[in-house]
Structure 1
């Protein structure tokens, strides 16, 4: 059976939204040429399946609200996923405007004394504010 880079990319996207770099890395590891990869990435972008701005926003929103990760940790994770710094900044600022961060910080530290709470928040990626 002939390998198809588009169906491999779509199968990879089926589980969760991905960054452009994730798709490129995955297809490269499957042995596709740079030309094939670029063609597939272009098709996915045109169809709206691949959008780093939307991906970064959704990733940041879910990480903050569901996984209770702080902005610093989210920024690092998005950088590792190959998202452009400007896109990360935009996504984080949008999410931080929409979400009550203080409420989340209170939720995850409600049973800790002040010193332990500060340490825990710092480890979770909330700055030293």
Structure 2
């Protein structure tokens, strides 16, 4: 079993269901994305550059769907929040599956992918 699969299996509900659903949306929306297990969490890369990662922050009760270049997306997608005062990363916090607006999330994924393809680096700050 791959480490990323093991990560998902070891999550408690409702986090496991939320993460598996978000994972399926990411993989179905962006077929070019590569799923990797880095820093003990799942990352999604395009052309070896990270675009998104999934995490459960210690002490928080939600799944953190974090966009690496989120600072460039937050005006167009106000659902992205700056949690933990991160310089570049912005994220969607999901407490339940119902918190995810799939149509808007798919648009966000496409926009993030386009943005990443135009930039040389994923981390620029």
Task: Calculate the TM-score normalised by the size of structure 2.
Answer: 0.23
Q: Please identify which structure carries the higher helix content.
A: 1
Q: Please identify which structure carries the higher strand content.
A: 2
Task: Calculate the TM-score normalised by the size of structure 1.
Answer: 0.23
Greater relative contact order (CA < 8 Å, ≥ 6 in sequence): 1
